[in-house]
Homo-oligomer: A and B are copies of this chain.
């Protein structure tokens, strides 16, 4: 079926072949996709050949993208406005029709989709807490989608269900829980993980809520810091608890919750007739990367008999590093922990975990025992049918890529990766102090890989602090970002926070990033903002 090094060929089936694969690894001959359509692929009878060739060609497209992504010479993005993409750039049409396209067109669509997307694996993409492209994780995702299974029962996902158990136990041990405590589940993102923690905490104190609802309960109150993630408020709204019953506790200047403020908030809430039951502490806040003082918070929770949750969606990864894990001291006293391996550990999206210390609560809180899924008369140990622990029914397999990465790196590999990201943050912190025109948002060395700073253009450097300067400074980051997006050379986020006007937040979670990329970022900000 075709040999090497010839440019054209003809086979018995009289399909024309031509040479399209330029990879230096794989020299193949591909059918003329202009005549094949999806119904020629498996399960079509005799579809093996077209299937293999189609997927090989797809692999070449993906490999081309992967290789380009890791090159600094390539762009991070090629920005177009929504109306431009909708009009159909260079023949790339998003519209869907009644008639099928050929496989050739499908491959072109794949190329175009990648072309107009954002290269989140580029070493100069600093825009989000999740970045990079781990190739073992990617291999895991490809296998997961090939297996196309679902996490509800052992019956359909025996291997993945056991891998989930292995990883949850591993993570519980790393948090510091003993062998006879700990439960959990993989779920679709950190917000849902945090929602689980409030849901389970509410059930723990008031199990009647499951059948009777919130009207059977007193008015509950939740405590979280003003720097914490908005998912606490969002969850309270979803759970019918009301976002105004989430009380925001003051932070110190580096973004850590102030324990005496927590204590006084609790007392004040009780005086207003609310019933405190849950405190969210954060390990790695979204903007500053701050770690709350967990032991102090645990003492207060213990004193008031409150559920203590730690949102370590972003900071959990630091538990993998011997150098940094002491920043999470006291997390072992939490009753639940959110931890997103898809952030600091570089696992492909999506991979998020909720850990619950007390076993059985998750099941009791959520189970409804649907008999078409969770029959008790199965021929195996049905405690492995973990689907009824979940608020979902079908649940995507998010565990395999993580398991495979752990196999490939070992715990130590994750530790080195985290250390490297934090070294980049320290390097940026040092550079910001050395270079002209940059100002740190908070003075202390960052605890996580978040570094927050302003760029002050030359014309603003002499201005006295005050509302006029603030108004001008507020516009600097958005304008630079706008130019950055147009140039596509680098991408970084910005936001205001409290009384602070728009500032840049740089985060490192991609082990591909080197010091030269940090230098490039600062050079580029200077170049793009110099005339503002």
Contact = CB atoms under 8 A, between A and B. Distances in A.
Contact of A63 (B52, B62, B154): B52
Nearest to A85: B162
Contacts of A213: 214, 219, 236, 240-242, 245
Given A154-B82, A286-B372, A393-B231, A1 B24 contact: yes
Nearest to A96: B406
A101 B139 CA distance: 15
A95 B52 contact: no
A375 B28 contact: no
Contacts of A23: 52
Interface residues of A, number: 177
A118 B157 contact: yes
Contacts of A481: 378-379
Contacts of A495: 371-372, 375
A366 B121 CA distance: 30
Contact of A54 (B139, B158, B209): B139
Given A130-B394, A287-B372, A148 B121 contact: yes
Contacts of A340: 394
Contact of A233 (B95, B148, B231, B368): B368
Interface string A26-41: 1110000000011101
Given A371-B496, A410-B97, A413-B100, A478 B377 contact: yes
A180 interface: no
A158 B100 contact: no
Contact of A28 (B25, B236, B404): B25
B130 A407 contact: no
A287 B494 CA distance: 50
Interface stretch (A108-116, A248-256, A353-361): A108-116
Given A4-B4, A96-B403, A407-B106, A237 B219 contact: no
Contact of A216 (B133, B189, B242): B242
Nearest to A244: B211
Interface in A38-71: 38-39, 41-43, 47-49, 51-56, 58-59, 61-63, 65-67, 70
A251 to B, nearest CB: 15
B396 A396 contact: yes
Most buried by B among A213, A234, A350, A380: A213
Interface in A499-525: 502, 505, 511-512
Given A118-B158, A191-B391, A101 B408 contact: yes
A170 to B, nearest CB: 6
Contact of A95 (B53, B103, B166): B166
Interface string A209-225: 11111111101000000
Interface string A107-147: 00110011011101101000110101101101101110111
Contacts of A511: 43
A407 B150 CA distance: 26
Contacts of A166: 94-96
Q: Which of A54, A85, A141, A188 has the most CB of B within 10 A?
A: A188
A146 B3 CA distance: 30
A135 B38 contact: yes
Contact of A234 (B49, B391, B505): B391
Given A392-B188, A392-B189, A482-B379, A123 B240 contact: no
Contact of A147 (B79, B117, B132): B117
A113 B147 CA distance: 9
Given A82-B380, A86-B162, A212-B242, A410 B99 contact: yes
26 contacts: A26-B28, A43-B132, A51-B63, A55-B135, A58-B139, A81-B380, A82-B381, A83-B381, A98-B411, A98-B412, A106-B136, A106-B408, A110-B139, A110-B404, A118-B155, A127-B156, A142-B145, A150-B349, A188-B192, A189-B392, A189-B396, A237-B366, A238-B239, A375-B494, A377-B502, A379-B485
